[in-house]
Amino acid sequence: MITIENLTVAYVEEKRIIDSLDVAFSPGTIHGIVGLNGAGKTTLLNAIFGLKKKQSGTITYNGVPINKREMSYLMTESFFYSNITGREYLRLFKNKQFHVDRWNDLFLLPLDEIIDTYSSGMKKKLALLGILMQNKPVMVLDEPFNNLDIESCRIIRSILLKLKDMGKTILITSHIIETLTNLCDTIYYLEQGKIKNTISKPDFGKFEQEIFSAIESRNEKLVAELLGSAPLSGKQVKLYEPAFQRAIEHRDLFRRF
């Protein structure tokens, strides 16, 4: 169990990015942290992993201060040394029980090529292989699905669900709620450095509708003004219904993966 109490993190004294935050993450569970840009998602993960100093509060794992020995951390943008191959990168992680080539049957990476030649999606998959190779009880994943294709997203989803069943504590952030609703057991909505809502799986659909409705209603008038038009009338909505339907179909397709 990861327990966070009264956590405050600030880059400057008067501006708190994380503000007196309290939350607990149970093992054998996938926890999703969602919020708008600037809500504090990455800062929270950096504080948990020890990359960002906290102004106050405690972060414990099973009753003792958490440390990096229990955690693996996938950052949004992974760092790789120049002029090394994918295989050489994975050799940095010592795990004789991890069969690199068997795992790579899932990811199909050119492990003997220089990482500098990899695409963004390939680099993400290589970083994820490194996380899996560490085999820590806590996995902290910041935007793990960024730059991945549909097949890779599905593979990662399957892996994470099995790791959850093995008792891992998994934290995932995303600013796209659809990436979390088909995977997580609990979602925490972060706003202005605080957990505004904690949502369990049966309420994901309702929460998603409420968030989208609030965003759309808050911005509809300004969008209309900027485009030099009034909000869509009923007749106009009917005209654009095919486009709306295609957007919904794309969203539903993404959810299935």
Nearest alpha carbon to residue 57 among 69, 68, 43: 43
Place of tokens 């990482």: 115
pLDDT of residue 247: 55
pLDDT 10s digits, 29-87: 999 999 888 889 999 999 999 999 999 999 999 999 999 999 999 998 888 999 999 99
β-bridge mates for residue 187, sequence order: 32, 199
Residue 235 has pLDDT above 80, yes or no: no
pLDDT of residue 237: 47
Dig out the tokens for 229 from the structure. 């038009």
The dihedral over CA atoms of 38, 44, 47, 49, expressed in degrees to the nearest 10, equals -120
Which range (18-22, 156-160, 214-218) has the least confidence?
A: 214-218
Note the pTM of the prediction, 2 decimals: 0.83
pLDDT 10s digits, 139-178: 999 999 999 999 999 999 999 999 999 999 999 998 778 8
pLDDT 10s digits, 93-125: 989 999 999 999 999 999 999 999 999 999 999
d(CA 9, CA 53): 7
Q: How confident is the model at residue 234 (pLDDT cuts 50, 70, 90)?
A: low
What's the distance, CA 54 to chain centroid?
21
